[in-house]
Amino acid sequence: MRIPDYAGSMLRGAFGHALRQLACMTKQRDCDGCALIASCPFPAIFAPVPPTAHTLQKFSDIPVPYIIEPPEWGASQLAEGATFSFHMVLVGRAMQELPLIILAWRRTLARGVGPGDGTAQLVRVVHCGHASETEIHSPESGAIDPHPQEINVPPAGAAPERVSLEFSTPLRLQHNGHALAPHKLDARTLLMALVRRCSLLSEFHTNTPLVSDFSFLRQACAAVHDEKQLVWRDWTRYSGRQQQKMALGGVIGQWHLSGNLEPFLPFLELGQWLHVGKEAAFGLGKYRLAAGTS
């Protein structure tokens, strides 16, 4: 199996193809106009239908309820017998489709992924918590063991005065369709992008909006200061849907925030799982949070 520099897009495309084959009953070319679109798990997971009206804005698409986290950056070639591991985060109602999602991954890997269609066999599924990992499924057992399905965020009043975000995959925060370079990024842009993503995922996939007052949070950004050690990382991928190469570079490195962080701490914690910025579904905008880092 040949792994490109960044495998997130490769895995997402292969997974979506297998999921559609398993879930689609009508075998239409696309989901538009399908009589089963409201009940089919494929659009609910991979291409959710945006609402016709929304108080925040008009949506052409909405955040999908999954995030694929590929292996660390760097091309590799896996020989027979090697192990290939990656993570997948599921949000809200998508967790109910875990049996179908596991089956889709088994089919994806058996059919082949990456340049040359290298094949693999799914050997186990592990639940990864903050500090523990527990196997919950293997093909031999067939069952999926009970496991936690919630993330605990710190209570109010527990916010440190300073935190650091270490971005390991390109962060793409955009303005007018263009990704912002390091010198054009500021704390407000980051924090409000994170607040918006967390709230929309919760609203669309759990029916529970996280934010009732965006204006308060926008004003609270004024009390947050930042220092950045960010660099640009170029990356391109080929889009089969658009039949062209797409430039999807972004910034990586450390971003330090200080000041009154209490209103934003839940979102900063959730963002470690949900990522932030464009193309988060296949793993961009991934960071780890550390408190009090100089």
Among 63-72, 245-254, 278-287, whose mean pLDDT is lowest?
245-254
Phi, psi of 147 (to 5 degrees): -155, 160
For the domain made up of 162-291, give the CATH fold: Alpha-Beta Plaits (3.30.70)
Q: Give the H or E element holding residue 101.
A: helix 98-111
What span, in angstroms and rounded, lies between the C-alpha atoms of 248 and 172?
A: 8
CA dihedral for 213, 259, 279, 46, sign (positive or negative)? negative
DSSP state letters, 252-274: EEEEEEEE--GGGHHHHHHHHHH
Helix, strand, coil share of the chain (percent; to 5): 30, 25, 45
Is the pLDDT at 158 greater than 80? The verdict is no
pLDDT tens for 30-80 read: 888 888 988 999 999 998 887 766 666 666 788 999 999 999 998 999 999
pLDDT of residue 211: 85
pLDDT tens readout for residues 197-209: 999 999 999 988 7
Query: Where do the structural domains in the chain lie, given as residue ranges?
Result: 2-137, 162-291
Distance CA 14, CA 18 (A): 6
186-231 residue pLDDT tens: 999 999 999 999 999 999 999 887 888 899 999 999 999 999 999 9
Overall pTM surpassing 0.85 (yes/no): yes
What confidence score (pLDDT) does residue 57 get? 64
Helix (H, G, I), strand (E, B) or coil at 170: strand
pLDDT digits (tens, 9 = 90+) for 85-95: 999 999 999 99
Length of the chain: 294
